Amino acid sequence: MGGLEEGEIKKSSLAVNTLTMWEALSQGLGTNGPAAVTALFFVGLAGLIGGSLPFVLVLSFFIYLGMTLITYEWSREVSSAYSWAAYHKRGFKKFGSFFSFFGGLGYWYYYLLGYTGFAMLGLSSFLYELFPSIGYHYPWLWIPLTIILIGETTFLAYMGIKISMRYVLYTGLAEITFLIITSIYLIIYAGPRNSILPFTPIPIKNNLTTLFVAMMLGIATFGGLNSVVPVAEETKNPKKNVPLALAILAFILGFTLILSSYAQTIIFGVNNMFNYANYPDPGILIYEKYLGGIITALYIIFIVNSFNSSGVSFGTSAIRTAYGFARDGILFPKSFTKINRHKVPGNIVLFNGGLSLVIALVAGILMGPFTASIFLILSNTVFSFFNHSLAGIELGVYHKRKGSLNIIKHIVVPYLTSFMLIIAIIYVVYPAPPPPLNYSAWIAGIYAMLLIMLYVYYKRKFPDKINIVGDFSI
């Protein structure tokens, strides 16, 4: 039995026509967690790239713009909870079911590890660094903290999409406004220290290997932007509003994060940025020195909230992706398709919370919350890059078949972006980061092999189910 015919529409049981364009935008804004990014990613990048931090972010942002164009073009064609599975199904017809299965569940992995790694363990790590004496005397405190955070974000997800997205939207826009205003102040305060040097590779002596390794983390800095797409079924007029949300959000996040990276680099000192990475919370030290205690307290509040908002949004994406597969009868039991009175798949919400708790606790106990956070982020990024790369190649194939091919939008930009992402994936493996972070790619590889074996199993035992994976779109 084949799948749906292209363009055929099925009814969604989710809360359709619920989210406005801005509420859908907040899903990507929350997932990215810009204030949290300035606290976690900037430190990791500065350790690799020093005073070239803004340069790496600019290059990474151009690549992420290409990734967003790919998502933008697909979101104009398809609106589905398991978005990437639906995109791949419409790409290569001959291998559509395999790529839909592999890519869709690969993105579920991305969302799940983003939730546990960046949001939950990232927040625990930040609070440990913020209060080192507490962390020293109570090294186990991150465990109950993580349990509380996962419980709270799971509760928000259970109570419905509208309430959680409004929380993320209001706090997220306030956060962006705060970062822009304070960054401009720091740049003005720096006065004659302002320079074009941070936007060049000169601080790292033009070392291309270092540059490419850093760009892996640099691209991930903008990660989450494209997670607007899993809430497409719940967005009003999704094939118009989801692409529009992606475009607006790309500008907002690109401007804010690059501006903030330059402000912190120039005020801390271009030649001193490798030392920046040696401080537990260098951004807070900068705010405290130049902006005072009240503004610093606000910055801390926004960082904490940013991690929490990211948890809500990452969790929302993981839940919607799992729901899409459960609806097709793949991997998850039929009971996972049951919609609660808040119009969300309540059983999946609870399952997602429980599984995330296990992942966070196991990874945190083995490596410590901070290292575990970076480990999970690196591991899940591989699947994000793979999906965008594959979807970029498929975009040209799909539009040529449809008779709507645009050479720039569907061939040049997507294929160039896909090439750069393949290079980024290679650099995760070699030259890999030091142990235990180098094993992050191994874990991703093991999961990929598991998906391939699962696909073969379903193809042999349940071909009817495999044939409809990725078909659903409203």
**Which string of DSSP letters, residue by residue, matches 79-132?**
--TTHHHHHHHTS-STTHHHHHHHHHHHHHHHHHHIIIIIIIIHHHHHHHHHSH
Contact between 347 and 334 under an 8 Å Cβ cutoff? The reply is no
List Cβ neighbours of 83 (8 Å cut-off, separation of 6 or more): 74, 75, 107, 229, 230, 232, 321
- Alpha-carbon distances of 39 from 46, 255, 282, 369, 408, rounded to whole Å: 11, 17, 8, 15, 36
432-436 — which CB contacts under 8 Å span 24+ positions? Answer: 433/213, 433/378, 436/367, 436/371, 436/375
Residue 5: its pLDDT value, please?
42
Crossing angle of the two packed helices 439-461 and 96-113, in degrees rounded to 10 = 140
Report the phi/psi class of residue 105: left, alpha or beta, with left for phi > 0 and alpha for psi in -120 to 50. alpha
Residue 357: closest CA among 129, 140, 125, 145? 145
Residue 352: its pLDDT value, please?
97
**Cβ atoms within 10 A of the Cβ of 408, count?**
9
Rounded Cα distance, 29 and 222, in Å: 10
Measured at the CA of 409, the angle between CA 406 and CA 414, to 5 degrees, comes to 125
Contact between 414 and 396 under an 8 Å Cβ cutoff? The reply is yes
Q: Where are the domains of the chain?
A: 21-468
What's the alpha-carbon Rg for the chain, to the nearest Å? 21
Task: Concatenate the DSSP letters of all residues of 362-386 into one string.
Answer: HHHHHH-HHHHHHHHHHHHHHHHHH
What are the structure tokens assigned to 128, written together? 């440990």
Tens of each residue's pLDDT in the chain, 474 residues: 344 444 444 678 898 999 999 999 999 999 999 999 998 889 889 988 999 999 999 999 999 999 999 999 999 999 999 999 999 999 988 888 999 999 999 999 999 999 999 999 989 888 887 888 877 788 888 999 999 999 999 999 999 999 999 999 999 999 999 999 999 999 999 999 999 999 999 999 988 878 887 887 888 899 889 999 999 999 999 999 999 999 999 999 999 999 999 999 999 999 999 999 888 789 999 999 999 999 999 999 999 999 999 999 999 999 999 999 999 999 999 999 999 999 999 999 999 999 999 999 999 999 999 889 989 988 888 888 899 999 999 999 999 999 999 999 999 999 999 998 888 777 766 666 678 888 888 899 999 999 999 999 999 999 999 999 999 998
Rounded Cα distance, 166 and 262, in Å: 30
The CATH number, out of the four listed (1.10.645.10, 3.40.190.10, 1.25.40.10, 1.20.1740.10), of the domain defined by the range 21-468: 1.20.1740.10
Query: pTM to 2 decimals?
Result: 0.91
Contact between 8 and 470 under an 8 Å Cβ cutoff? The reply is no
What's at 140, amino acid-wise? Answer: W
Residue 435: its pLDDT value, please?
80
- Reduce the DSSP state of residue 19 to 3 states and report it: strand
Bond prior to 434 in cis (omega within 30° of 0):
no
- Where do runs of H (alpha helix) occur along 328-412? 346-367, 369-402
Residue 225: closest CA among 336, 89, 70? 70
Residue 391: its pLDDT value, please?
95
The dihedral sign for the CA sequence 65, 66, 69, 71: negative
- Alpha-carbon distances of 342 from 35, 53, 180, 309, 313, rounded to whole Å: 30, 43, 36, 20, 17
Contact between 183 and 367 under an 8 Å Cβ cutoff? The reply is no
